[in-house]
Amino acid sequence: MRCFSLSHGIGRSGNIGDIQPKALGSSMLACLANEFALHALQEIGVVTCKAALVVPLCTGMALSLCMGSWRKSRPMAKYVLWLRVDQKSCFKILLSSLKALELVNIIQQTLKFSM
């Protein structure tokens, strides 16, 4: 089975953090992901963080939330450096998040390391 019997989802109606009795495996993985995220935040120095919530999102929605957050903290910012625009959702979210978009051709250089 491709979904490993974990296709029911997480959360309950009205609260995504609640345990889903019909999907104990999915709920367990969601709780584990939340604990890993909290631990990672505390390891990088955000010790006041008491809880974390990992939510499954598509690429476009995740980027939309990030851009919206950055727009509040840097309202005068005009540019986003994006090394790969090979998905339509990424390009669309850049267009919807910014008033103007300027694409810059970045030439990748291959570094050769001798071992």
How do residues 57-104 score in pLDDT, each as one tens digit?
777 787 778 777 887 888 887 777 666 656 666 777 777 766 666 665
Among 49, 31, 27, 28, residue whose Cα is nearest residue 40: 49
Among 40, 16, 44, 41, residue whose Cα is nearest residue 30: 16
Residue 114 pLDDT: 43
pLDDT band at 49 (very low <50, low <70, confident <90, very high): very high
Report if pTM > 0.75.
no
What residue type is 1 in one-letter code?
Answer: M
Q: Rounded mean pLDDT of 5-10?
A: 72
Q: What is d(CA 70, CA 55) in angstroms, rounded to the nearest whole number?
A: 19
Quick one: which H or E segment has residue 39?
helix 24-43
Q: Show me where the domains of the chain are located.
A: 1-56, 57-108
pLDDT band at 37 (very low <50, low <70, confident <90, very high): very high
Mean pLDDT of the chain: 76
Is 109's pLDDT higher than 70? no
Higher-pLDDT residue of 83, 13: 13
What residue type is 63 in one-letter code?
Answer: L
Residue 115 pLDDT: 43
